[in-house]
Amino acid sequence: MRARTVLVLLLAFPACATLSSGSSSSGKFPGGEAVKSRIKELEQKSQVAIGCMKGVTETPSATIEVTAASDGKMASRTLLWSGPQTVEPCILDAARMATVPPLAGAPVSAIWELRPKDAPPAPPPDVTKLDTGAFQPMQARVQQNVDSCAQRHLSEGFGADIELTFVILPGGRTAAVNVMESTAADTDFDVCVQNAVGGTQFPDTHYLGAFPYKLRFHVGPSSQL
């Protein structure tokens, strides 16, 4: 009997790997609405995975991150996989061969989640159950990295605000880190902060799925956002 798989698309609110897909980012931040539209474009590209399921008898369960660089070229990586190993490279290759229109600014990522049709989805995440005390030291550490990004890429005394959304996977790894707001007017700074968050191990949320999270940072003497 042919396996039935549900492809669940998670809106990303991107492990120590950076979030670049191989092409450098360019241009200033395009705006939060443009990033949201890009995420939707990446979600729609999930249809390329359907062809990899033909003839599969074992239903895969997987979480895959797809990332689009500013030139529209895409990259992909497996975050979690349980199922036929022959299907995994097919989906990753299909994602990498897809393209989206160019979009200035930092790379944008989304999550594709595959699960058996009869497998119940994870319950809605409950932010109120997070141990916020455990998160504070990590956020302070990331702020130090954000300050370092500002020292490298922004003029001395320049004030900027940046907001990022991402998901925290079981165990604390981050994925699909996206810059949703930025007043820096400097893509190198945005990408530097993006990679700082993507390279941070957060406390385990004790949630079975990809837990959406948001961080906001300020550098310099005055808030501009």
Residue 187 in any domain: the answer is: yes
Pair (133, 109) in one structural domain: no
- The total of structural domains in the chain comes to 2
- The amino acid sitting at 95 is A
pLDDT greater than 80 at residue 34: yes
Q: Is the pLDDT of residue 6 over 90?
A: no
Task: Calculate mean pLDDT across residues 214-219.
Answer: 95
Structural domain of 81: 5-116
Residues 159 and 58 in one domain: no
79-88, 119-128, 174-183, 212-221: least confident range:
119-128
21 and 112 part of one domain: yes
Can you tell me the distance from the alpha carbon of 154 to that of 186, in angstroms, rounded to the nearest whole number? 8
- Indicate whether 109 and 162 sit together in one domain: no
> What is the value of pTM for the model shown?
0.84
Q: Residue 85: is its pLDDT beyond 80?
A: yes
Report the range of poorest mean pLDDT among 87-91, 132-136, 167-171: 132-136
Domain identity same for 109 and 189? no
> Is residue 31 included in any domain, yes or no?
yes
CA 203/CA 156 separation, integer angstroms = 33
What digits encode the pLDDT tens for the residues 95-107? Answer: 999 999 999 999 9
Phi, psi dihedral angles at 221 (to 5 degrees): -80, -20
Condensed to tens digits (0 to 9), the pLDDT of residues 133-144 reads 888 898 899 999
Burial 122-132 (b: 16+ CB within 10 A, else e): eeebeeeebee
111 lies in the same domain as 153: no
Mean pLDDT value of segment 24-51: 88
Closest CA to 112 of 221, 222, 5: 5
